């Protein structure tokens, strides 16, 4: 896989199949933490009515996600509020950076994320978004061990950017995603 930055041999946690490589997540995608307008709830930043500016929180991922896609939010920002946050669109994944680590969603809406979320921007065509979802969910324990805080776990953008990931060729990423869907479909039939 040409053009992919690989990690140093002494960092490799375990062997992976031939044709795969170890790389850091941040070399493949952009990672950015959200930002929150202050003070929270100020009518200057938050609208009492629905606007085109969705304000995305972890609770929205729980409440409004179907088939891994976030489709709505409870709160909305004003035009001024958008200048104090981080914009996300459909080529982004969002993931919890504090509290519910591993909670992750694709976007079926555009919006703005608060500081308890991070976004991952997919501009690289050698990555399957659903493969990264599987990896993040599988690495929750590792993320917890790298986090700070005792009662409320928190990861930094550097932790996510420097996360070592096993990267198969794109065709194999797609096969892994399809196999996982097939197995989940069997589980839901039981």
The pLDDT profile of the chain, 190 residues, written as one tens digit per residue, is 555 555 566 788 889 999 999 999 999 899 999 999 999 999 999 999 999 999 999 999 999 999 899 999 999 999 999 999 999 998 899 999 988 888 999 999 999 999 999 999 987 677 899 999 999 999 988 888 888 877 778 889 999 999 999 999 999 999 999 999 898 877 766 5
Count the Cβ atoms, other than its own, within 10 Å of residue 85.
21
From its phi and psi, is residue 42 left (phi > 0), alpha (psi between -120 and 50) or beta?
Answer: beta
Q: What is d(CA 104, CA 119) in angstroms, rounded to the nearest whole number? A: 10
Which CATH number characterizes residue 166's domain? 3.90.220.20
132: in domain: yes
Please, how many CA atoms are within 13 Å of residue 63, restricted to the half-sphere of its CB? Answer: 9
What is the count of structural domains for the chain? 1
**The pLDDT of residue 2:** 52
129: in domain: yes
Whether the CB-CB separation of 20 and 166 falls below 8 Å is answered with yes
2: in domain: no
**The pLDDT of residue 1:** 53
1: in domain: no
The residues, any chain, with a CB within 8 Å of residue 47's CB and separated by 6 or more, are 53, 76, 77, 78, 81
Range of the domain at 44: 9-189
**The pLDDT of residue 63:** 96
4: in domain: no
75: in domain: yes
Q: E strands within the chain?
A: 21-24, 30-33, 46-47, 54-56, 65-66, 69-70, 75-77, 86-88, 92-96, 104-107, 111-113, 117-121, 164-167
């Amino acid at each position: 896989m040409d053009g992919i930055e690989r990690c140093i041999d002494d960092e490799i946690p375990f062997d992976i199949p031939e044709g795969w490589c170890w790389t850091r997540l941040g070399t493949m995608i952009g990672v950015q933490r959200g930002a929150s307008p202050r003070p929270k709830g100020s009518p200057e930043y938050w609208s009492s009515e629905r606007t085109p500016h969705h304000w995305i929180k972890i609770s929205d991922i729980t409440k409004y996600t179907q088939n891994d896609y976030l489709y709505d939010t409870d709160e909305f920002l004003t035009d001024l509020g958008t200048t104090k946050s981080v914009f996300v669109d459909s080529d982004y994944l969002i993931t919890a950076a504090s509290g519910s680590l591993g909670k992750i969603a694709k976007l079926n809406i555009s919006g703005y994320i608060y500081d308890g979320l991070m976004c991952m921007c997919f501009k690289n065509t050698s990555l399957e978004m659903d493969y990264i979802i599987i990896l993040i969910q599988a690495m929750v324990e590792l993320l917890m061990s790298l986090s700070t805080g005792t009662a409320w776990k928190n990861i930094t953008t550097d932790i996510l950017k420097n996360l070592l990931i096993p990267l198969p060729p794109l065709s194999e990423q797609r096969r892994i995603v399809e196999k996982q869907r097939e197995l989940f479909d069997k589980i839901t039939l039981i």
